[in-house]
Amino acid sequence: MFNNKKILATALLSAMIATPALAELKIGVSMALFDDNFLTTLRNSIEQAAEEQGVSVQIEDGKNEVGTQLNQIQNFIASGVDAIIINPVDTDATVSMSDDAENAGIPLIYVNRQPINVDMLPDNQAFVASNEVESGTLQTQEVCKLMGGKGKVVVMMGELSNQAAIQRTKDIHDVIATPECSGMEVVAEQTGEWMRVKGNDLMTNWISAGLEFDAVISNNDEMAIGALQALKASGRSMDSVIVAGIDATADALAAMKAGDLDVTVYQSAKGQGAGALDAAVKLAKGEDVDQKVWVPFELVTPENLDKFLQ
């Protein structure tokens, strides 16, 4: 009898140990690229949310190459993951991604960057992000306020294949088209591809060309910081130019605290990452989720900076 009880207890213990491993959800995550401050925070938030929910995540670097990202998705499908999260390299390339996942019967969640097929997603696919109509609008309205509704502006755009860059730039022009901001004029507009070094190069070129401007409106903080570096290197006083970014990254908040950056817009990487992981888990379990999950943007200025530093 003792031996039977011992065998039974051992069997139950083995089952208890094995069950969580068998039940653990596996989620594949393909990021557009690892070498980006905001996307690094987003990636970390996905990992943290996965740990909290007890699911396994495999995160891959798309290296800003569409072909690489498509291969990663195929590999996730072949390995039998329970769900896939994608931060797309090219938002115009998401139709085939959706089709591949749908054909495999695997739930798919897009995060941060809006897929071109966002209004035609299958039932087991969703999009988690912040509404980009708010981002550039909040940013440019504040710049307009600081400029008194008039002055010359240069615009630094993100990658032109990216929906966020397109929408944020449209937001800028939409605000300038309003009566109270119609005295603002865009004198130059060019892509810095989201990168600090390219924002620096772009600003250096504008300064060398003798371009006159009163404000820099950048689609993200990284390019804005690059612009700040170039402006300071040229000897221009930070009091003579307004510089605005988007994302409220740690470096951007530090630049604002130093008195260099005038405006940014908080985009919650943590909220987006946790939201995407939560949607992936629910869809993998067959539960319903909203197909569009919006995480609000918030304007950040020197006046409310302390809230975001905390």
pLDDT tens string 60-105: 999 999 999 999 999 999 999 999 999 999 999 999 999 999 999 9
Supply the mean pLDDT for the chain: 92
Q: What average pLDDT does range 225-245 have in this prediction?
A: 98
pLDDT of residue 22 exceeding 50, the answer is no
Please check whether residues 171 and 250 belong to one and the same domain.
yes
Predicted local distance difference test score (pLDDT) of residue 24: 86
**Same-domain check for residues 96 and 179:** no
Q: How far is CA 169 from CA 151, 175, 247, in A?
A: 18, 10, 15
98 plus 187 within the same structural domain: no
Looking at residue 240, what is its pLDDT? 97
Note the helical H segments in the chain: 2-23, 37-53, 66-79, 94-104, 132-147, 163-176, 196-208, 221-233, 250-257, 269-284, 305-309
pLDDT tens for 128-156 read 999 999 999 999 999 999 999 999 999 99
d(CA 267, CA 310): 15
The number of folded domains in the chain is 2
- The answer to whether 78 and 61 are in contact (CB under 8 A) is no
Query: Which stretch of 1-15, 63-77, 218-232, 255-269 has the lowest confidence by average pLDDT?
Result: 1-15
Residue 310 lies in a domain: no
Instruction: Grade residue 15 by pLDDT with cuts at 50, 70 and 90.
Output: very low
> Cβ atoms within 10 A of the Cβ of 245, count?
31
What dihedral angle (degrees, nearest 10) is formed by the CA atoms of 281, 270, 173, 33?
-80
How much is the pLDDT for 37?
86
Residues 49 and 6 in one domain: yes
Please check whether residue 207 lies inside any domain of the structure.
Answer: yes
Residues 259 and 138 in one domain: yes
* pLDDT > 90 in the chain, percent: 89
Contacts of 173 (CB under 8 A, 6+ apart): 186
- Whether 12 shows a pLDDT value over 90: the answer reads no
Residue 235 pLDDT > 90, yes or no? yes
Instruction: Give CA–CA dist 131/112, Å, rounded.
Output: 9
Same domain, 124 and 136: no
List the beta bridge partners of residue 188: 154
For 81, the token pair is: 């993951």
Q: What percent of the chain has pLDDT over 70?
A: 93
Is 260 part of a structural domain of the chain?
yes
The predicted structure's pLDDT at residue 20: 37
- On whether residue 305 sits in a domain, the answer given is no
Closest CA to 229 of 258, 193, 249: 258
Whether residue 240 lies inside any domain: the answer is yes
Closest CA to 171 of 132, 117, 126: 132
Torsion of CA 53, 55, 56, 61, to 10 degrees: -50
Higher pLDDT, 107 or 18: 107
- Radius of gyration over alpha carbons of the chain, in Å? 23
Q: Which CATH number is 32's domain given?
A: 3.40.50.2300
Sign of the torsion formed by the C-alpha atoms of 115, 119, 122 and 126: positive
Residues 166 and 274 in one domain: no
Same domain, 238 and 146: yes
Same domain, 159 and 206: yes
Instruction: Answer yes or no: is 148 within a domain.
Output: yes
Q: Which residue range(s) make up the domain with 64?
A: 2-130+268-295
Q: Give how far the C-alpha of residue 70 lies from the chain's centroid of Cα atoms, to the nearest Å.
A: 19
Comparing 195 with 7, the larger pLDDT belongs to 195
Is residue 11's pLDDT more than 70? Answer: no
> Are both 27 and 89 inside the same structural domain?
yes
Domain co-membership, 136 together with 126: no
pLDDT at 23: 52
In a shared domain, residues 173 and 275: no
Within a domain: residue 32?
Answer: yes
